[in-house]
Structure 1
Amino acid sequence: MDMADMLLAGMALFLGGILKGATGAGAPIIGVPILAMLFNVPTAVALFTIPNLLTNISQGWQFRAHLGRMGLATTLALWGALGTVVGSVLLAVAPATLLMAGVGAVVLSYIAFRLLRPEWQLGADAEKRLTAPAGLVAGVLQGAGGISAPVSITYLNALRLERPRFIATISIFFCAMSLVQIIALAGLGIMTVQLTLLGFVTLGPLLLGMPVGNWLAKRVSREAFDKVILVLLAGIAGKLLFDGLIA
Protein backbone atom coordinates (compact mmCIF):
# COMPACT_ATOMS: atom_id res chain seq x y z
CA MET A 1 0.00 0.00 0.00
CA ASP A 2 1.58 3.28 -1.13
CA MET A 3 1.36 6.72 0.52
CA ALA A 4 -1.70 7.77 -1.49
CA ASP A 5 -3.56 4.65 -0.36
CA MET A 6 -2.57 5.29 3.25
CA LEU A 7 -3.83 8.88 3.04
CA LEU A 8 -7.10 7.70 1.48
CA ALA A 9 -7.59 5.12 4.21
CA GLY A 10 -6.75 7.66 6.92
CA MET A 11 -9.19 10.23 5.52
CA ALA A 12 -11.96 7.64 5.24
CA LEU A 13 -11.40 6.60 8.85
CA PHE A 14 -11.36 10.22 10.04
CA LEU A 15 -14.66 10.96 8.24
CA GLY A 16 -16.06 7.74 9.66
CA GLY A 17 -15.06 8.97 13.12
CA ILE A 18 -16.94 12.25 12.56
CA LEU A 19 -20.03 10.28 11.55
CA LYS A 20 -19.61 7.97 14.54
CA GLY A 21 -19.27 10.87 16.94
CA ALA A 22 -22.35 12.60 15.55
CA THR A 23 -24.74 9.66 15.23
CA GLY A 24 -23.27 6.78 17.24
CA ALA A 25 -22.91 4.70 14.07
CA GLY A 26 -21.73 4.85 10.50
CA ALA A 27 -17.92 4.56 10.74
CA PRO A 28 -17.84 1.18 8.93
CA ILE A 29 -20.04 2.61 6.17
CA ILE A 30 -17.15 4.80 5.08
CA GLY A 31 -14.22 2.79 6.38
CA VAL A 32 -15.03 -0.77 5.31
CA PRO A 33 -15.65 -0.04 1.59
CA ILE A 34 -12.40 1.98 1.33
CA LEU A 35 -10.37 -0.68 3.13
CA ALA A 36 -12.03 -3.37 0.99
CA MET A 37 -10.83 -1.55 -2.15
CA LEU A 38 -7.29 -1.46 -0.77
CA PHE A 39 -7.30 -5.06 0.51
CA ASN A 40 -10.39 -7.32 0.25
CA VAL A 41 -13.70 -7.68 2.08
CA PRO A 42 -12.62 -10.25 4.73
CA THR A 43 -9.50 -8.22 5.55
CA ALA A 44 -11.48 -4.96 5.73
CA VAL A 45 -14.07 -6.53 8.03
CA ALA A 46 -11.37 -8.00 10.28
CA LEU A 47 -9.45 -4.70 10.42
CA PHE A 48 -12.53 -2.85 11.63
CA THR A 49 -13.44 -5.20 14.50
CA ILE A 50 -10.92 -3.77 17.00
CA PRO A 51 -11.73 -0.06 16.43
CA ASN A 52 -15.44 -0.95 16.30
CA LEU A 53 -15.25 -2.58 19.73
CA LEU A 54 -13.15 0.11 21.41
CA THR A 55 -15.02 3.14 20.04
CA ASN A 56 -18.36 1.64 21.06
CA ILE A 57 -17.11 0.87 24.56
CA SER A 58 -16.12 4.55 24.76
CA GLN A 59 -19.47 5.86 23.48
CA GLY A 60 -21.48 3.37 25.51
CA TRP A 61 -19.76 4.56 28.69
CA GLN A 62 -20.17 8.21 27.71
CA PHE A 63 -23.95 7.86 27.17
CA ARG A 64 -24.66 5.15 29.80
CA ALA A 65 -26.92 7.44 31.84
CA HIS A 66 -29.34 7.71 28.89
CA LEU A 67 -29.80 3.97 28.30
CA GLY A 68 -33.21 3.74 29.96
CA ARG A 69 -34.79 0.26 29.96
CA MET A 70 -32.21 -2.46 29.35
CA GLY A 71 -34.64 -4.78 27.56
CA LEU A 72 -34.23 -3.19 24.15
CA ALA A 73 -30.42 -3.03 24.28
CA THR A 74 -29.85 -6.51 25.72
CA THR A 75 -32.30 -8.26 23.38
CA LEU A 76 -30.83 -6.49 20.37
CA ALA A 77 -27.28 -7.32 21.50
CA LEU A 78 -27.88 -11.01 22.26
CA TRP A 79 -29.61 -11.73 18.95
CA GLY A 80 -27.07 -9.59 17.12
CA ALA A 81 -24.25 -11.67 18.60
CA LEU A 82 -25.92 -14.87 17.40
CA GLY A 83 -26.40 -13.44 13.92
CA THR A 84 -22.76 -12.36 13.81
CA VAL A 85 -21.62 -15.98 14.15
CA VAL A 86 -23.78 -16.98 11.18
CA GLY A 87 -22.59 -14.00 9.14
CA SER A 88 -18.93 -14.69 9.92
CA VAL A 89 -19.29 -18.19 8.50
CA LEU A 90 -20.91 -16.73 5.38
CA LEU A 91 -18.01 -14.28 5.08
CA ALA A 92 -15.59 -17.19 4.98
CA VAL A 93 -17.46 -19.20 2.34
CA ALA A 94 -19.59 -16.91 0.16
CA PRO A 95 -20.05 -13.30 -1.06
CA ALA A 96 -22.82 -11.30 0.59
CA THR A 97 -23.46 -8.65 -2.10
CA LEU A 98 -26.88 -9.92 -3.21
CA LEU A 99 -28.05 -10.10 0.39
CA MET A 100 -26.78 -6.56 0.96
CA ALA A 101 -28.56 -5.32 -2.17
CA GLY A 102 -31.84 -6.77 -0.97
CA VAL A 103 -31.45 -5.04 2.38
CA GLY A 104 -30.61 -1.80 0.56
CA ALA A 105 -33.92 -1.98 -1.31
CA VAL A 106 -35.79 -2.51 1.97
CA VAL A 107 -34.04 0.48 3.55
CA LEU A 108 -34.90 2.74 0.59
CA SER A 109 -38.54 1.66 0.90
CA TYR A 110 -38.46 2.58 4.58
CA ILE A 111 -36.98 6.02 3.81
CA ALA A 112 -39.69 6.68 1.21
CA PHE A 113 -42.35 5.69 3.74
CA ARG A 114 -40.85 7.98 6.40
CA LEU A 115 -40.81 10.90 3.98
CA LEU A 116 -44.48 10.30 3.17
CA ARG A 117 -45.41 9.81 6.85
CA PRO A 118 -42.79 11.73 8.89
CA GLU A 119 -44.60 11.37 12.23
CA TRP A 120 -44.83 7.56 12.06
CA GLN A 121 -42.98 5.44 14.61
CA LEU A 122 -43.06 1.89 15.96
CA GLY A 123 -45.05 1.39 19.14
CA ALA A 124 -44.16 -0.52 22.31
CA ASP A 125 -45.88 -3.71 21.11
CA ALA A 126 -43.91 -3.67 17.87
CA GLU A 127 -40.69 -3.20 19.83
CA LYS A 128 -41.37 -6.40 21.79
CA ARG A 129 -42.01 -8.38 18.61
CA LEU A 130 -39.36 -6.98 16.28
CA THR A 131 -36.25 -6.39 18.39
CA ALA A 132 -35.06 -10.02 18.29
CA PRO A 133 -35.43 -10.52 14.50
CA ALA A 134 -33.95 -7.07 13.82
CA GLY A 135 -30.92 -7.93 15.97
CA LEU A 136 -30.48 -11.32 14.29
CA VAL A 137 -30.58 -9.96 10.74
CA ALA A 138 -28.32 -7.04 11.64
CA GLY A 139 -25.86 -9.49 13.18
CA VAL A 140 -25.78 -11.61 10.04
CA LEU A 141 -25.00 -8.51 7.98
CA GLN A 142 -22.30 -7.47 10.43
CA GLY A 143 -20.65 -10.85 10.27
CA ALA A 144 -20.93 -11.20 6.49
CA GLY A 145 -20.03 -7.67 5.43
CA GLY A 146 -18.94 -5.68 8.48
CA ILE A 147 -21.95 -3.36 8.19
CA SER A 148 -25.11 -3.89 10.27
CA ALA A 149 -26.37 -0.31 9.94
CA PRO A 150 -28.97 -0.97 7.21
CA VAL A 151 -31.01 -2.94 9.74
CA SER A 152 -29.84 -1.71 13.14
CA ILE A 153 -30.04 2.02 12.38
CA THR A 154 -33.28 1.61 10.42
CA TYR A 155 -34.91 -0.22 13.31
CA LEU A 156 -33.78 2.16 16.05
CA ASN A 157 -34.70 5.14 13.87
CA ALA A 158 -38.20 3.70 13.48
CA LEU A 159 -38.46 3.67 17.28
CA ARG A 160 -37.64 7.41 17.20
CA LEU A 161 -35.18 7.29 20.08
CA GLU A 162 -33.59 10.49 21.32
CA ARG A 163 -29.94 10.85 20.23
CA PRO A 164 -28.40 10.00 23.66
CA ARG A 165 -30.50 6.83 24.09
CA PHE A 166 -29.98 5.93 20.44
CA ILE A 167 -26.19 6.06 20.88
CA ALA A 168 -26.23 4.21 24.23
CA THR A 169 -28.39 1.41 22.81
CA ILE A 170 -26.54 0.95 19.55
CA SER A 171 -23.16 1.07 21.33
CA ILE A 172 -24.07 -1.97 23.45
CA PHE A 173 -25.34 -3.72 20.32
CA PHE A 174 -22.12 -3.01 18.40
CA CYS A 175 -19.93 -4.06 21.36
CA ALA A 176 -21.63 -7.45 21.62
CA MET A 177 -21.30 -8.10 17.89
CA SER A 178 -17.67 -6.97 17.77
CA LEU A 179 -16.65 -9.27 20.61
CA VAL A 180 -18.30 -12.28 18.99
CA GLN A 181 -16.97 -11.33 15.57
CA ILE A 182 -13.37 -11.14 16.78
CA ILE A 183 -13.65 -14.64 18.27
CA ALA A 184 -15.41 -16.05 15.20
CA LEU A 185 -12.98 -14.53 12.69
CA ALA A 186 -10.01 -15.76 14.73
CA GLY A 187 -11.48 -19.25 14.77
CA LEU A 188 -11.99 -19.14 11.00
CA GLY A 189 -8.41 -18.02 10.43
CA ILE A 190 -9.37 -14.58 9.07
CA MET A 191 -8.41 -12.52 12.13
CA THR A 192 -4.63 -12.82 12.39
CA VAL A 193 -2.17 -11.25 14.83
CA GLN A 194 -1.05 -8.84 12.09
CA LEU A 195 -4.61 -7.69 11.38
CA THR A 196 -5.24 -7.30 15.10
CA LEU A 197 -2.24 -4.97 15.41
CA LEU A 198 -3.30 -3.03 12.29
CA GLY A 199 -6.75 -2.71 13.83
CA PHE A 200 -5.25 -0.71 16.68
CA VAL A 201 -3.52 1.52 14.12
CA THR A 202 -6.84 2.28 12.38
CA LEU A 203 -8.24 3.40 15.73
CA GLY A 204 -6.22 6.64 15.63
CA PRO A 205 -8.02 8.49 12.81
CA LEU A 206 -11.40 7.36 14.17
CA LEU A 207 -10.66 8.80 17.61
CA LEU A 208 -9.56 12.08 16.06
CA GLY A 209 -12.83 12.40 14.15
CA MET A 210 -15.28 11.41 16.91
CA PRO A 211 -14.99 14.59 19.05
CA VAL A 212 -15.59 16.66 15.92
CA GLY A 213 -18.79 14.74 15.19
CA ASN A 214 -19.96 14.97 18.81
CA TRP A 215 -19.37 18.75 18.78
CA LEU A 216 -21.39 19.13 15.58
CA ALA A 217 -24.26 16.95 16.83
CA LYS A 218 -24.75 19.00 20.00
CA ARG A 219 -25.62 21.99 17.84
CA VAL A 220 -28.51 20.44 15.93
CA SER A 221 -32.13 19.69 16.92
CA ARG A 222 -33.77 16.26 17.18
CA GLU A 223 -35.44 16.88 13.81
CA ALA A 224 -32.09 17.65 12.22
CA PHE A 225 -30.56 14.54 13.83
CA ASP A 226 -33.40 12.44 12.44
CA LYS A 227 -32.74 13.84 8.96
CA VAL A 228 -29.03 13.09 9.28
CA ILE A 229 -29.90 9.47 10.08
CA LEU A 230 -32.20 9.26 7.05
CA VAL A 231 -29.50 10.71 4.79
CA LEU A 232 -27.03 8.22 6.24
CA LEU A 233 -29.46 5.38 5.54
CA ALA A 234 -29.98 6.59 1.97
CA GLY A 235 -26.24 6.57 1.37
CA ILE A 236 -25.92 3.10 2.86
CA ALA A 237 -28.80 1.74 0.79
CA GLY A 238 -27.46 3.25 -2.43
CA LYS A 239 -24.02 1.73 -1.81
CA LEU A 240 -25.48 -1.69 -1.08
CA LEU A 241 -27.69 -1.66 -4.18
CA PHE A 242 -24.81 -0.53 -6.37
CA ASP A 243 -22.49 -3.22 -5.06
CA GLY A 244 -25.15 -5.89 -5.43
CA LEU A 245 -26.11 -4.94 -8.97
CA ILE A 246 -22.55 -4.79 -10.33
CA ALA A 247 -21.35 -7.90 -8.51
Structure 2
Amino acid sequence: MTSIASVETLLLLFVSFLVGGLVKGIIGTGLPTIALALLTATIGIKEGMAIILLPSILTNIQQGVFGGYFKAIVFRSWSFFLATFCTIWLGAFLLQRVDVSWLSALLGCILFLYALFGLSSKELKPPGQAEQWLNPLIGAINGLLTGMTGSAIVPGVLYLQSLAMEREKLIQTMGLVFLVSTITLAFALQKNKLLTGELLLLSAISFLPAYLGMLIGNRLRRNISEQLFRKLFFSFMLLLGCYIVARSFFTH
Protein backbone atom coordinates (compact mmCIF):
# COMPACT_ATOMS: atom_id res chain seq x y z
CA MET A 1 0.00 0.00 0.00
CA THR A 2 1.49 3.35 -1.02
CA SER A 3 1.94 6.22 1.40
CA ILE A 4 -1.13 8.43 1.79
CA ALA A 5 0.28 10.81 4.42
CA SER A 6 0.37 14.43 3.20
CA VAL A 7 -0.69 17.89 4.29
CA GLU A 8 -3.96 17.44 2.38
CA THR A 9 -4.61 14.10 4.10
CA LEU A 10 -3.95 15.56 7.56
CA LEU A 11 -6.29 18.47 6.83
CA LEU A 12 -8.95 16.04 5.61
CA LEU A 13 -8.58 13.95 8.77
CA PHE A 14 -8.85 17.03 10.97
CA VAL A 15 -12.07 18.21 9.30
CA SER A 16 -13.63 14.72 9.08
CA PHE A 17 -13.07 13.79 12.72
CA LEU A 18 -13.83 17.27 14.06
CA VAL A 19 -17.23 17.17 12.32
CA GLY A 20 -17.77 13.54 13.38
CA GLY A 21 -16.91 14.33 17.00
CA LEU A 22 -19.19 17.37 16.91
CA VAL A 23 -22.13 15.25 15.75
CA LYS A 24 -21.40 12.57 18.36
CA GLY A 25 -21.24 15.20 21.11
CA ILE A 26 -24.66 16.57 20.15
CA ILE A 27 -26.71 13.43 19.37
CA GLY A 28 -24.61 10.63 20.94
CA THR A 29 -23.60 8.90 17.70
CA GLY A 30 -22.26 9.69 14.23
CA LEU A 31 -18.48 9.89 14.67
CA PRO A 32 -17.45 6.74 12.75
CA THR A 33 -20.29 7.20 10.27
CA ILE A 34 -19.36 10.76 9.32
CA ALA A 35 -15.60 10.16 9.31
CA LEU A 36 -15.80 6.89 7.35
CA ALA A 37 -18.15 8.39 4.77
CA LEU A 38 -15.90 11.41 4.17
CA LEU A 39 -12.75 9.28 4.01
CA THR A 40 -14.35 6.74 1.67
CA ALA A 41 -15.42 9.57 -0.64
CA THR A 42 -11.84 10.87 -0.79
CA ILE A 43 -9.02 8.44 0.01
CA GLY A 44 -10.79 5.04 -0.11
CA ILE A 45 -12.87 2.65 1.97
CA LYS A 46 -10.07 0.33 3.13
CA GLU A 47 -7.89 3.19 4.33
CA GLY A 48 -10.92 4.87 5.92
CA MET A 49 -11.87 1.71 7.82
CA ALA A 50 -8.39 1.51 9.32
CA ILE A 51 -8.14 5.21 10.23
CA ILE A 52 -11.45 5.34 12.14
CA LEU A 53 -10.39 2.51 14.48
CA LEU A 54 -8.63 4.31 17.34
CA PRO A 55 -10.91 7.38 17.48
CA SER A 56 -13.95 5.10 17.49
CA ILE A 57 -12.53 2.80 20.18
CA LEU A 58 -11.34 5.59 22.47
CA THR A 59 -14.51 7.68 22.22
CA ASN A 60 -16.79 4.68 22.84
CA ILE A 61 -15.06 3.26 25.93
CA GLN A 62 -16.72 5.78 28.24
CA GLN A 63 -20.07 5.59 26.44
CA GLY A 64 -20.16 1.80 26.18
CA VAL A 65 -18.65 0.62 29.46
CA PHE A 66 -19.26 3.20 32.16
CA GLY A 67 -22.86 4.26 31.61
CA GLY A 68 -24.33 2.29 34.52
CA TYR A 69 -26.18 -0.37 32.50
CA PHE A 70 -23.29 -2.59 31.42
CA LYS A 71 -24.43 -5.84 33.09
CA ALA A 72 -28.05 -5.40 32.01
CA ILE A 73 -27.04 -4.72 28.41
CA VAL A 74 -24.72 -7.73 28.21
CA PHE A 75 -27.38 -10.00 29.77
CA ARG A 76 -30.00 -8.83 27.26
CA SER A 77 -27.87 -8.59 24.10
CA TRP A 78 -25.01 -11.09 24.53
CA SER A 79 -26.10 -13.13 21.47
CA PHE A 80 -26.13 -9.95 19.35
CA PHE A 81 -22.54 -9.16 20.39
CA LEU A 82 -21.37 -12.75 19.87
CA ALA A 83 -22.86 -12.97 16.38
CA THR A 84 -21.37 -9.59 15.49
CA PHE A 85 -17.94 -10.70 16.68
CA CYS A 86 -18.03 -13.90 14.60
CA THR A 87 -19.24 -12.44 11.30
CA ILE A 88 -16.94 -9.40 11.28
CA TRP A 89 -14.10 -11.82 10.54
CA LEU A 90 -15.98 -13.15 7.52
CA GLY A 91 -16.70 -9.62 6.32
CA ALA A 92 -13.04 -8.61 6.63
CA PHE A 93 -12.07 -11.76 4.72
CA LEU A 94 -14.42 -10.74 1.89
CA LEU A 95 -13.04 -7.20 2.02
CA GLN A 96 -9.81 -8.50 0.52
CA ARG A 97 -11.58 -10.37 -2.25
CA VAL A 98 -14.44 -8.14 -3.43
CA ASP A 99 -13.93 -5.21 -5.82
CA VAL A 100 -13.44 -2.07 -3.71
CA SER A 101 -15.83 -0.11 -5.95
CA TRP A 102 -18.68 -2.45 -5.04
CA LEU A 103 -17.83 -2.20 -1.34
CA SER A 104 -17.84 1.59 -1.53
CA ALA A 105 -21.20 1.46 -3.32
CA LEU A 106 -22.52 -0.84 -0.58
CA LEU A 107 -21.42 1.66 2.08
CA GLY A 108 -23.10 4.45 0.13
CA CYS A 109 -26.34 2.46 -0.01
CA ILE A 110 -26.17 1.82 3.75
CA LEU A 111 -25.71 5.53 4.45
CA PHE A 112 -28.56 6.38 2.04
CA LEU A 113 -30.99 3.95 3.71
CA TYR A 114 -29.97 5.06 7.20
CA ALA A 115 -30.50 8.73 6.29
CA LEU A 116 -33.79 8.02 4.53
CA PHE A 117 -35.11 6.20 7.58
CA GLY A 118 -33.89 8.99 9.88
CA LEU A 119 -35.59 11.70 7.82
CA SER A 120 -38.85 9.74 7.68
CA SER A 121 -39.14 9.86 11.50
CA LYS A 122 -40.67 6.37 11.41
CA GLU A 123 -40.17 4.03 14.33
CA LEU A 124 -39.83 0.27 14.08
CA LYS A 125 -42.18 -1.77 16.21
CA PRO A 126 -40.62 -3.52 19.24
CA PRO A 127 -39.92 -7.18 18.34
CA GLY A 128 -41.35 -8.58 21.58
CA GLN A 129 -40.55 -12.27 22.06
CA ALA A 130 -38.92 -12.37 18.61
CA GLU A 131 -36.01 -10.48 20.16
CA GLN A 132 -34.50 -13.80 21.31
CA TRP A 133 -33.87 -15.00 17.76
CA LEU A 134 -33.56 -11.57 16.14
CA ASN A 135 -30.60 -10.65 18.35
CA PRO A 136 -28.18 -13.18 16.81
CA LEU A 137 -29.67 -12.76 13.30
CA ILE A 138 -29.38 -8.96 13.21
CA GLY A 139 -26.02 -9.17 14.99
CA ALA A 140 -24.70 -11.54 12.33
CA ILE A 141 -25.87 -9.34 9.45
CA ASN A 142 -24.52 -6.24 11.16
CA GLY A 143 -21.14 -7.89 11.76
CA LEU A 144 -20.85 -9.04 8.15
CA LEU A 145 -21.56 -5.53 6.84
CA THR A 146 -19.20 -4.01 9.40
CA GLY A 147 -16.39 -6.28 8.26
CA MET A 148 -17.02 -5.38 4.62
CA THR A 149 -17.68 -1.63 4.95
CA GLY A 150 -16.61 -0.50 8.44
CA SER A 151 -20.15 0.72 9.19
CA ALA A 152 -22.13 -0.72 12.12
CA ILE A 153 -25.28 1.36 11.74
CA VAL A 154 -27.51 -0.73 9.43
CA PRO A 155 -29.32 -2.79 10.48
CA GLY A 156 -27.78 -2.75 13.97
CA VAL A 157 -28.57 0.77 15.19
CA LEU A 158 -32.05 0.74 13.62
CA TYR A 159 -32.81 -2.56 15.35
CA LEU A 160 -31.53 -1.36 18.73
CA GLN A 161 -33.69 1.76 18.44
CA SER A 162 -36.74 -0.51 18.09
CA LEU A 163 -36.18 -2.20 21.47
CA ALA A 164 -37.89 0.62 23.40
CA MET A 165 -34.95 1.23 25.74
CA GLU A 166 -34.74 4.39 27.80
CA ARG A 167 -32.48 7.00 26.16
CA GLU A 168 -29.39 6.58 28.36
CA LYS A 169 -29.47 2.78 28.11
CA LEU A 170 -29.85 2.98 24.32
CA ILE A 171 -26.87 5.36 24.04
CA GLN A 172 -24.74 3.01 26.16
CA THR A 173 -25.89 -0.01 24.13
CA MET A 174 -24.92 1.69 20.87
CA GLY A 175 -21.58 2.66 22.38
CA LEU A 176 -20.95 -0.94 23.40
CA VAL A 177 -21.92 -2.22 19.93
CA PHE A 178 -19.52 0.24 18.30
CA LEU A 179 -16.79 -0.66 20.79
CA VAL A 180 -17.09 -4.43 20.27
CA SER A 181 -17.40 -4.00 16.50
CA THR A 182 -14.40 -1.69 16.17
CA ILE A 183 -12.06 -3.73 18.38
CA THR A 184 -12.98 -6.90 16.47
CA LEU A 185 -12.58 -5.08 13.16
CA ALA A 186 -9.10 -3.93 14.18
CA PHE A 187 -7.94 -7.52 14.78
CA ALA A 188 -9.66 -8.73 11.60
CA LEU A 189 -8.00 -6.03 9.46
CA GLN A 190 -4.64 -6.85 11.03
CA LYS A 191 -5.08 -10.54 10.25
CA ASN A 192 -5.91 -9.70 6.64
CA LYS A 193 -2.88 -7.35 6.39
CA LEU A 194 -5.00 -4.23 5.90
CA LEU A 195 -3.73 -2.37 8.98
CA THR A 196 -0.34 -0.74 8.38
CA GLY A 197 1.82 1.29 10.76
CA GLU A 198 1.16 4.44 8.76
CA LEU A 199 -2.61 3.99 8.97
CA LEU A 200 -2.39 3.34 12.71
CA LEU A 201 -0.41 6.58 13.15
CA LEU A 202 -3.01 8.52 11.17
CA SER A 203 -5.71 6.85 13.28
CA ALA A 204 -3.99 7.95 16.49
CA ILE A 205 -3.61 11.52 15.21
CA SER A 206 -7.30 11.58 14.29
CA PHE A 207 -8.35 11.05 17.89
CA LEU A 208 -7.38 14.64 18.78
CA PRO A 209 -9.85 16.44 16.46
CA ALA A 210 -12.49 13.78 17.27
CA TYR A 211 -12.17 14.48 20.99
CA LEU A 212 -12.14 18.24 20.40
CA GLY A 213 -15.30 17.94 18.33
CA MET A 214 -16.99 15.94 21.08
CA LEU A 215 -16.17 18.61 23.67
CA ILE A 216 -17.61 21.32 21.44
CA GLY A 217 -20.67 19.18 20.66
CA ASN A 218 -21.32 18.53 24.35
CA ARG A 219 -21.38 22.29 24.97
CA LEU A 220 -23.58 23.02 21.96
CA ARG A 221 -26.07 20.30 22.92
CA ARG A 222 -27.64 22.58 25.54
CA ASN A 223 -28.17 25.42 23.08
CA ILE A 224 -29.28 23.74 19.85
CA SER A 225 -32.43 21.92 18.84
CA GLU A 226 -31.52 18.23 18.58
CA GLN A 227 -34.46 17.65 16.22
CA LEU A 228 -33.24 20.32 13.77
CA PHE A 229 -29.67 19.08 14.02
CA ARG A 230 -30.72 15.49 13.31
CA LYS A 231 -32.54 16.63 10.15
CA LEU A 232 -29.42 18.44 8.97
CA PHE A 233 -27.28 15.41 9.85
CA PHE A 234 -29.48 12.92 7.97
CA SER A 235 -29.80 15.27 4.99
CA PHE A 236 -26.02 15.49 4.78
CA MET A 237 -25.67 11.71 5.06
CA LEU A 238 -28.27 11.24 2.31
CA LEU A 239 -26.31 13.42 -0.10
CA LEU A 240 -23.00 11.86 0.90
CA GLY A 241 -24.37 8.34 0.40
CA CYS A 242 -25.59 9.27 -3.09
CA TYR A 243 -22.20 10.78 -3.92
CA ILE A 244 -20.30 7.67 -2.77
CA VAL A 245 -22.54 5.38 -4.84
CA ALA A 246 -22.19 7.56 -7.94
CA ARG A 247 -18.43 7.88 -7.48
CA SER A 248 -18.09 4.11 -7.05
CA PHE A 249 -19.92 3.35 -10.28
CA PHE A 250 -17.96 5.94 -12.27
CA THR A 251 -14.71 4.57 -10.81
CA HIS A 252 -15.74 1.02 -11.66
TM-score band (shorter)? Answer: 0.7 to 0.9
Is 1:214 aligned to residue 218 of structure 2?
Answer: yes
Residue 83, structure 1, aligned to residue 90, structure 2: no
Runs of 4+ in 1 over 6 A off after TM superposition: none
Partner of 1:32: 36
Shift of 1:152: 2.1
1:18-66 deviation line (CA, Å, top 9, x unaligned): 1222333211222123333443221111111122111111222342347
Match of 2:17 among 9, 13, 18: 13
Partner of 1:243: 244
**Is 1:57 matched with 2:58?**
no
* Residue of structure 1 equivalent to 2:171: 167
For the 8 Å contact 2:45–2:104, the answer to whether it is kept is no
Provide closer, same or farther for how the CA distance between residues 120 and 2 of structure 1 changes in structure 2, counting only shifts above 3 A. closer
Percent pairwise identity = 23
Contact 1:138 1:150 in 2 (8 A): yes
Q: State the TM-score, normalizing by the size of structure 2.
A: 0.79
RMSD across aligned positions (CA): 3.0
Task: State how many pairs are aligned.
Answer: 241
- In the TM superposition, what are the counterparts of 1:73-222 in structure 2 within 5 Å? 73-94=77-98, 95=100, 96-100=103-107, 103=110, 106-107=113-114, 110-111=117-118, 115=121, 118=122, 121-217=125-221
**CA positional deviation for 1:218:** 5.3
For residues 117-155 of structure 1, the C-alpha deviation after alignment (integer angstroms, 9 at most, x for no partner) is x56631432433322222222222221111121322222
Amino acid in structure 1 at the alignment position of 2:241: L
Q: Following the alignment from structure 1 to structure 2, what is the Cα–Cα distance between the partners of residues 239 and 34?
A: 8
> CA–CA distance in 2 between the matches of 1:75 and 1:217?
33
- Once the two structures are superposed, residues 184-237 of structure 1 have per-residue CA deviations (whole angstroms, 9 ceiling, x without a partner) of 11111111222222211111111111122233445678xx56x76676556545
Structure 1 pair 139/237, CA: closer, same or farther in 2 (3 Å)? farther
Distance 2:81 2:182 in 1: 10
TM-score between the two structures when normalised by the length of structure 1: 0.80
SS at match of 1:189: coil
